[in-house]
Amino acid sequence: TATQERRGFEAEVSRLLHLMVHSVYSDREIFLRELVSNASDACDKLRYEAITAPDLLSNGTELAIAITADPKAGTLTIADTGIGMDREDLIANLGTIARSGTAAFLDRLSGDKSKDLSLIGQFGVGFYSSFMVADKVRVISRKAGTEQAYQWESDGEGSYIIDEAEKAGHGTEIILHLKDDAKDFLERPWLERTLRKYSDHIAVPISLKVCGTEKDGETDKAETVNSGSALWTRPKSELSDDDYTEFYRHVAHSPDEPALVIHTKAEGVISYSALLFVPGQRPLDLFDPSRKPRVKLYVKRVFITDDTEELLPGYLRFLKGVVDSEDLALNISREMLQNNPVVARIRKAVTNKVLSEIEKRANKDKDAYEKIWEAFGPVLKEGLYEDAGRRDTLLKLSRFKSTHGDAWVSLADYVGRMKDNQKAIYYVTGTDAEAVKRSPQLEGFRARDVEVLLLSDPVDDFWLSAISEFDGKPFKSVTRGGSDLKDLSNSDSNTSDEAKSEDDTEDMVALSALLKGILGDQVADVRSSDRLTETAACLVADDNGLDMHLERILRQHNQ
Ligand code: ADP
Ligand code: MG
């Protein structure tokens, strides 16, 4: 027809789809979780829009999700009465990949199928996962507030067809024509079990109908399969680890297990509930320059936005989950969230709660905490220079590698092991953990058994320039000039040190004068040093100047 148009998928989508279509991924049942999750998001969005435009919901339609299996036709349909999509939305959402982290996901695809499939397990693939079980997918959608419906159809091989369609009422219907080897997904017991497992936390009612079968003596009967209440409003005692995990997967769009669950309710000066998760693995977009936290804000159970920087500080952007406020007005606009005093109070309370829960985990379960630190430490450390008020808490949470074995070290561990006459906490920074470990600057410290922190995250130079001490001990770079190594000598090595300083006065003076003459302006000074035991010479920074690594970073940025 004249309205019909065939369009090619974006190259990235094609790559992803190719993987889906030819997938032998064993967990392909996750397609149902992805589609129900999208249907639920669509209902959330419409509920929000309807606050300011009540007409959108005035025709009496309830927000709901309906699943229909038709074994005769071989189709499974997931329908919702949510926000819906118009032609442009269909093209933008189901023909391109807008999701953050997707580019990183695709970059990691190797072309080796088994490796790539295991990556799918780590990365939620969303709508496109339908092509793991269907050889044809038809989406019929009508955007709330519009009259014309559209359909999108594809076999997942390179292109899709978009056309006008008929549909009563707003919302979206996704019709999966199941592959021959996926017909089991039409069986009632499997559907009931899976929907209960994946979708119990979904806050809109989900009904299931299996055509041609009997339920409670009635043919074609639809039954409700979820409890339909927002999970975070339910008491902790009623919730299992599985409930939390499934909810995490829904809000985080991620298939892993959470490393830490923080479920809290505050009543009093401010009233809110929060259900937040520290992910089990590092999300692919963790270092996205926007640094935006993606926690969802609800007001009295109504989803408002997941696009606000106000709710949490940037250094907690790895958290996923929900904050639901009783104190904000339902019709609050996203702009009004900025500089809002209620939001600021929630942010303060939630941030404190999160840090104290993380600290509890650190004290209770060292191994579990170190996993969290390994994944998110570099982000948490941003708080050291951004959040002066919580600096002490964050310093306590920080863990480091050091010259003292391979284990993670806390600053308290370090200070506890300091030499009797050691006054500073020594560190060396660099961009590569292995190179840092081999730095010649460490030789003298190693020889004297003085521990040095090995810092190789880009953020380290920044917080070190903002924080001068821990527990009364200054931080000191080993690349700084006149090192204090002499004072740190073990008593039994004193004599050899003195012998060395004697050379200093004779040959060394001549040698440094000679070298200074040759190097000219390129160096500020040439000095003998106690810091080396094997290497003949190394570069150090001036005592009052910048740390060498920081200087290099600043030079790269033309500062
Ligand atoms: P994600 O849910 O992580 O954004 P998906 O691949 O699951 O990624 O979905 C892509 C986009 O398609 C969604 O962000 C949404 O805009 C749109 N979409 C998918 N399913 C629906 C639906 N049932 N109703 C409305 N929009 C939908
Ligand atoms: Mg999705």
Q: Give residue 496's pLDDT.
A: 45
Distance between Cα 107 and ligand 1 center (Å): 22
Q: Which residue has the tokens 């410290």?
A: 445
What is the Cα–Cα distance from 521 to 281, expressed in whole angstroms? 49
SS (H, E, C) 409-462: EEHHHHHHCCCCCCCCEEEEECCCHHHHHCCHHHHHHHHCCCCEEEECCCCHHH
Taking each helix axis from N to C terminus, what angle separates 366-380 and 341-364, rounded to the nearest 10 degrees? 140
170 lines ligand 1 (CB under 6 A): no
Are 317 and 291 spatial neighbours (Cβ–Cβ below 8 Å)? yes
What is the Cα–Cα distance from 186 to 398, expressed in whole angstroms? 50
80 lines ligand 1 (CB under 6 A): yes
Distance between Cα 74 and ligand 1 center (Å): 24
Are 24 and 117 spatial neighbours (Cβ–Cβ below 8 Å)? yes
Length, in residues, of the chain: 559
Using CA atoms, how far residue 511 sits from 89, 146, 473, 518, 540, in Å, is: 74, 85, 35, 11, 18
476 lines ligand 1 (CB under 6 A): no
What's the complex ipTM? 0.99
Residues flagged as binding site for ATP = 34, 38, 80, 85, 93, 100-101, 122-127, 172, 334
- The three-point CA angle 257-82-343 to 5° equals 60
297 lines ligand 1 (CB under 6 A): no
Distance between Cα 83 and ligand 1 center (Å): 11
139 lines ligand 1 (CB under 6 A): no
User: Going by DSSP bridges, is the β-strand pair 5-8/159-165 parallel, antiparallel, or unpaired?
Assistant: antiparallel
Residues flagged as binding site = 34, 38, 80, 85, 93, 100-101, 122-127, 172, 334
Determine which residue's CA is closest to atom 4 belonging to ligand 1.
99
Tell me, rounded to whole angstroms, the distance of Cα 542 from its chain centroid.
39
Sequence letter at residue 117: L
Per-residue pLDDT tens listing for the chain (559 residues):
678 999 999 888 888 888 788 776 677 888 998 899 999 999 999 998 998 898 998 777 899 999 999 999 999 999 999 999 999 999 999 988 766 566 677 777 777 766 776 666 666 678 988 999 999 999 999 999 999 999 999 999 989 999 999 999 999 999 999 999 999 999 999 999 999 887 888 889 999 999 988 777 888 888 999 888 889 999 999 999 999 999 999 888 888 899 999 999 999 889 999 999 999 988 777 776 677 788 999 998 888 888 888 999 999 999 999 999 999 988 787 778 888 999 999 999 999 999 999 999 999 999 999 999 999 999 999 999 999 999 999 999 999 999 998 999 999 999 999 998 899 999 999 888 888 888 888 888 888 889 999 999 989 999 998 998 999 999 999 877 556 777 766 544 444 444 455 555 677 778 778 887 888 777 777 777 776 666 777 777 666 666 666 666 666 665 5
Q: Give residue 493's pLDDT.
A: 46
What is the Cα–Cα distance from 129 to 33, expressed in whole angstroms? 10
Phi-psi region of 169 (alpha: psi -120 to 50; beta: other; left: phi over 0): left
What is the Cα–Cα distance from 427 to 420, expressed in whole angstroms? 18
Q: What is the dihedral of CA 365, 371, 377, 383, to 10 degrees?
A: -40
pTM for the full model?
0.77
Burial class (CB in 10 A: 0-12, 13-18, 19+), 313: buried
Atom of ligand 1 lying closest to residue 174 CA? 23
133 lines ligand 1 (CB under 6 A): no
42 lines ligand 1 (CB under 6 A): yes
Determine which residue's CA is closest to atom 7 belonging to ligand 1.
126
Distance between Cα 127 and ligand 1 center (Å): 6
| Ligand (nearest to CA of 127) | 1
Starting at the earlier edge strand, list the strands of the sheet with 399-402. 409-410, 399-402, 452-455, 425-429, 473-477, 469-470
Strand partners, 263: 275
Distance between Cα 38 and ligand 1 center (Å): 5
Distance between Cα 223 and ligand 1 center (Å): 25
Distance between Cα 141 and ligand 1 center (Å): 12
Which one of 40, 67, 127, 154 would you pick to mutate in the ligand 1 pocket, going by the greatest count of ligand atoms within 8 A of its CB?
Answer: 127
38 lines ligand 1 (CB under 6 A): yes
Q: Which candidate, 199, 216, 221, 259, places its Cα nearest to that of 64?
A: 199
190 lines ligand 1 (CB under 6 A): no
127 lines ligand 1 (CB under 6 A): yes
Distance between Cα 471 and ligand 2 center (Å): 47
Distance between Cα 252 and ligand 2 center (Å): 10
Atom of ligand 1 lying closest to residue 82 CA? 24
Determine which residue's CA is closest to atom 23 belonging to ligand 1.
39
Q: Give residue 415's pLDDT.
A: 97
Determine which residue's CA is closest to atom 11 belonging to ligand 1.
93
Are 67 and 209 spatial neighbours (Cβ–Cβ below 8 Å)? yes
Tokens describing residue 124:
């939620």
